[in-house]
A and B are shown apart, each in its own frame.
Chain A
Amino acid sequence: DVVMTQSPVSLPVTLGQPASISCKSSQSLVYIDGKTYLSWFQQSPGQPPRRLIYQVSKRDSGVPDRFSGSGSGTDFTLKINRVEAEDVAIYYCMQGTHPFTFGGGTRVEIK
Chain B
Amino acid sequence: QAQMMQSGAEVKKPGASVKVSCKASGYTFTAYYLHWVRQAPGQGLEWMGWINPNTGASNYTQRFQGRVTFTRDTSITTAYMELSRLTFDDTAIFYCASGPGHMNFWGRGTLVAVSS
Contact = CB atoms under 8 A, between A and B. Distances in A.
A8 B95 CA distance: 25
A55 B101 contact: yes
Bin the interface of chain A by size: 20 to 34
Interface string A89-106: 010101010011111110
Contact of B59 (A51, A90, A96, A99): A99
A51 B102 CA distance: 9
Given A92-B44, A105-B44, A51 B104 contact: yes
Interface residues of B, number: 20
Contact of B46 (A37, A41, A51, A102): A102
B108 interface: yes
B47 interface: yes
Interface of A: 1, 37, 39, 41, 43, 48-51, 54-55, 58, 60, 90, 92, 94, 96, 99-105
